[in-house]
Amino acid sequence: MERIFPDPEMLSSAALEHELLAAAPEHRRSNRPWVSFNFIASIDGAATVDGRSGQLGNPWDLRVFSLLRQTADVILVGAQTVRAEGYGGELLGAEAQAWRSDNWLDPHPPLAIVSGSLNLDPGLEVFTQAPVRPLVLTLAGAPQERREALSQVSDVVNVGEASLDVDRLVDELAGRGYRNIHSEGGPTLLGSFAAAGRVDELNLTVSPLLVGGDAGRIAHGSHGEGEAARSMELARVLKADSMLFLRYVRPAQ
């Protein structure tokens, strides 16, 4: 792995771990919960191949993906991401769990799933094989029958009335002690957080593939009238073979 920016350098495996596991200076200076996102996209902008993001990656991407989630207080995902990618069982290996314990973190970061409709099967492995009881973040108007069923396998919490209230969601997680919030998708979730101005960090892997077709972008959603695009600052560029790993942060306020 090569660091291109800042301070170009070839990184050993140990150096890569140190780089990605160290608390980011922007996070240390922040006086509010820190929300990071991790996505992958092809060089022509596709976020998936045949409906899944995994086919865009390679072992380097998987390594970075795992290291980025290793420091999280909570892993935030949308319901469609869970249905497409699984998320059953332990999210980290034994070595990563040991690192977390050595660094005063719970061995397993809990999973928080955002679902306005609660269209989730309580029998999914994400519930039945979870090492830590998941959270399901939903809306006040979600169907009561589904709420009761999911309450048997998760903690179901309202974070909005008719639509997702991003600030309320972040406050809910922070109130549980989860101040380092790391999200792995999907596009609707990133779009909602971007519209609310609550994306502090975006880690984007650029896969050297031309996908074509009608695959969507890494973010989508309604764009309100008068809503301005938000600037991000490039903080790091890593390169492995022809794959790029970009880290962007919200400008200091």
Residue 191 has a pLDDT of 93
> Is 23 among the domain residues?
no
Q: In what order do the strands lie in the sheet with 135-138?
A: 9-10, 2-5, 233-240, 243-249, 201-207, 34-42, 180-183, 74-78, 111-114, 135-138, 155-158
Q: Check residue 82 and report its DSSP letter.
A: H
Structural domain harbouring 108: 33-209+232-249
CATH number for the domain spanning 80: value is 3.40.430.10
Q: What is the pLDDT of residues 184-232, one digit of tens each?
A: 988 999 999 999 999 999 999 999 999 988 888 899 876 554 456 789 9
> Is 217 among the domain residues?
no
> Is 4 among the domain residues?
no
Q: How many domains does the chain have?
A: 1
Give the residue from 35, 29, 27 showing the smallest Cα distance to 192.
35
d(CA 219, CA 234): 18
> Is 53 among the domain residues?
yes
Q: What is the pTM of this model?
A: 0.93
> Is 158 among the domain residues?
yes
